[in-house]
Amino acid sequence: MDHPKLLLYAVLLCACLSLMGCQRSEAPSPTPPAPQRIEVPVTVEVTRIITQQIVVEATPTPPQACRPESLDQAEEIRIGAIVPLSKPGAARYGFSMQAALTIAATDVNDSGGIQGKPVRLITYDSAGIPERAAQYAQRLITQDCVSAIVGIFHSNVGMAVAQVAHTFGIPLVVAEARADEITAQTLPEVFRIGPTNSMVGRWPAEWMASTGDRNGDGRLLAVLLAENSTYGQILDERLRQWLPQFGIETQTLPVDLPADDFTSVIARIVAMDTLPDAIFLLVQGESALNLAQQLLGAGIGPQRQTVLVMNSVALNSPLFWQRVPEGTGTVVARVGAWESTVGEMGRAFAGKYRQYFDTWPEGYAFTAYDSLRLVADALNRATTPAGDDLIRALEESDVELAGGHYYFPYGRANPPDGETVPAYMWHQWPDYPLLFLQYTEAGQDAAAMPIIWPEKYRTEEAPASR
C-alpha cells in the first residue's frame, strides 16, 4: 500500500478513537456511597471553651466618714485642723493659729476632756492651696476619723473645705476666712466665728456715719491715704465701696513708700476746700507713725475736728508715744478681741499665748482657740458625735469663750431671708469684735484705751477732741 493510502487509514483510525472517547465522557458517574455517621462521646471542659476573658472590676466603695457614732466607741475624740504653715500660704498667721489650737486642746483635756474622753488635735498644712486643703480635709474625715474640722485662714481654702465637709456631713467651724460665700451657701455643716468681708467692709462706714459731721461743714468726707502696695489697694477699694453707701464722700491720696517725708501729701490735704472728718492711714509699719506725727505737726488732726484713724501698729503704745507724742485723740482700728472686751478665759488664753509670741493675741488667734473650744462645748452637749447631732448642738451654742459670747441666730430653724438679713449670716457669729479704740490721754497704755465703737463693746462715748 502506497503512502497516501496509509495516511488516510491513520486519520480515520484517530477519528474513530476520538469519537469513542467522547462517548465515554458523557456516561453518568456512579453515585458515591453515603458517608457513615459515627457518634463519638465528647467530654467538654468549661475552662477550654472560653475564647475571650472579660475582667469586670468591682465598683470601688466611696470613701466614708469614719468618726465614732457614739462616745462609747471612742477612746479619744479627734478634731482636725487646717491652717497655712508653709509657702505660699501665710505661715506667720498659721503658726499663730496652730499655737492657739494647741493651747485650746490642752485646756480642754486639762478640764476633763469631752465627756471624759481626751481630745486629740490633728493638724494639716494647707499652704494656702485649696486643692491641697480639700485633700487633707477628706483625709481627716475618712482616715483620721475626726468629728469636726476647725481653723482655716484663706477664703479659697475655706470654700474648698466647706464642700468636702458638706459631702461627708462633718461640721466645719471657720476661724478666719472672710469670703461671704463660705456661709452664704447655707451649708448645714459650715459655721463661722470670724468676720465676713462684708462685716469688715461696713465697719468703718457704720462707725463714721454714727459719729456724724464732726467739723460742722455739712459734709461727711473721708480722706484715704493709701500706700502703694496690695495692702493699700485692697483697703482703699474696700472703703471706697462701702463709705459712699452710708453717705460719706471719699478722696484717695496715694502714699509712695518707702518715704520719710510726707510733705507733698500733707500739702494736698491743707489745700482742700473742706477739711475731712476722718483721715484713714492705710499705711503699714512705722511709716504710719511717721505720717501721723507729720499730719499732727501740720495742724491736721483732732485740734481741727479731724480724726486720724490708724491700724494696729498704733496699739504698740510705747512705740506710738515715742513716734507720735502729739497723738492724743488718735483712733485705732482693732480686728478682734481686746483686753477690755474679754473675760477670765480670754485673759487666761492671752497669758498662755504670750509664751509663744510676746504679744496680745491677734483676732485670728482668738478665733482659732475658740473654734476648737466651741466644738468641744457642742460635743459635750450632743447626744452623739455624729454629724447631725453635732450640727444641732453647734446651732444651739450659747457659751462664753475666750473671744466673746458665741451664738448663731440664723440656721436651719431660722434661715436668713437674703434681704433684711444677708445670706452670709447663716451660721455666722454676729458679734465679732470689730473695734475702734481711742487714745484719750497722753502716754496712755493701749490696754487702757476706751472702746468708742461699736455700742455692744463701747466703754466711752464718741471720739474725744482737744
pLDDT of residue 46 exceeding 90, the answer is no
Predicted local confidence at residue 380, as pLDDT? 95
Please give the Cα distance from 53 to 47 (Å, whole number).
11
- Residue 251 half-sphere exposure toward CB, CA atoms < 13 A: 16
Every domain of the chain with CATH number 3.40.50.2300 lies at 71-196+341-425, 199-339+434-457
Sign of the dihedral through C-alpha 290, 291, 292, 296 = positive
pLDDT-derived band at 383 (thresholds 50, 70, 90) equals: confident
State the DSSP code for 190: E
Cell of 9: 487509514
Predicted local confidence at residue 342, as pLDDT? 97
Predicted local confidence at residue 351, as pLDDT? 98
Please give the Cα distance from 200 to 238 (Å, whole number).
9
First-to-last CA distance in the chain? 171
**Which candidate, 157, 165, 97, places its Cα nearest to that of 127?**
157
Cα 369 to Cα 145, 276, 392, distances in angstroms: 21, 40, 21
State the DSSP code for 419: S
pLDDT-derived band at 58 (thresholds 50, 70, 90) equals: low
**Which candidate, 197, 200, 196, 242, places its Cα nearest to that of 222?**
242
Predicted local confidence at residue 60, as pLDDT? 66
Predicted local confidence at residue 440, as pLDDT? 95
pLDDT-derived band at 57 (thresholds 50, 70, 90) equals: low
Name the one residue in this structure whose C-alpha cell is 454629724: 387
pLDDT of residue 18 exceeding 50, the answer is no
**Once rounded to an integer, what is the mean pLDDT over residues 50-58?**
47
Q: Using an 8 Å Cβ cutoff, are 12 and 4 in contact?
A: no
Q: Which of 36-45, 51-60, 316-325, 417-426 has the least mean pLDDT?
A: 36-45
Q: Using an 8 Å Cβ cutoff, are 264 and 271 in contact?
A: no
The pTM (predicted TM-score) of the whole model is 0.84
Tell me: the pLDDT tens digits for 68-113? 988 888 899 999 999 999 999 899 999 999 999 999 999 999 999 9
pLDDT of residue 405 exceeding 60, the answer is yes
- Return the CATH fold of 71-196+341-425: Rossmann fold (3.40.50)
Please tell me the CATH code under which domain 199-339+434-457 is placed.
3.40.50.2300
Q: Using an 8 Å Cβ cutoff, are 148 and 171 in contact?
A: yes
Predicted local confidence at residue 73, as pLDDT? 81
Cβ contacts of 416-424, under 8 Å, gap ≥ 24: 416/186, 422/180, 422/184, 422/198, 423/180, 423/183, 423/184, 423/186, 424/180, 424/181, 424/182, 424/183, 424/184, 424/196, 424/198
pLDDT-derived band at 119 (thresholds 50, 70, 90) equals: very high
Region of 277 on the Ramachandran plot (φ > 0 left; ψ -120 to 50 alpha; else beta): alpha
pLDDT of residue 48 exceeding 70, the answer is no
Residue 231: Cβ-neighbour burial (10 angstroms; 0-12, 13-18, 19+) = middle
Predicted local confidence at residue 232, as pLDDT? 94
Tell me: the pLDDT tens digits for 174-230? 999 999 999 999 999 999 999 999 999 999 999 999 988 888 888 999 999 999 999
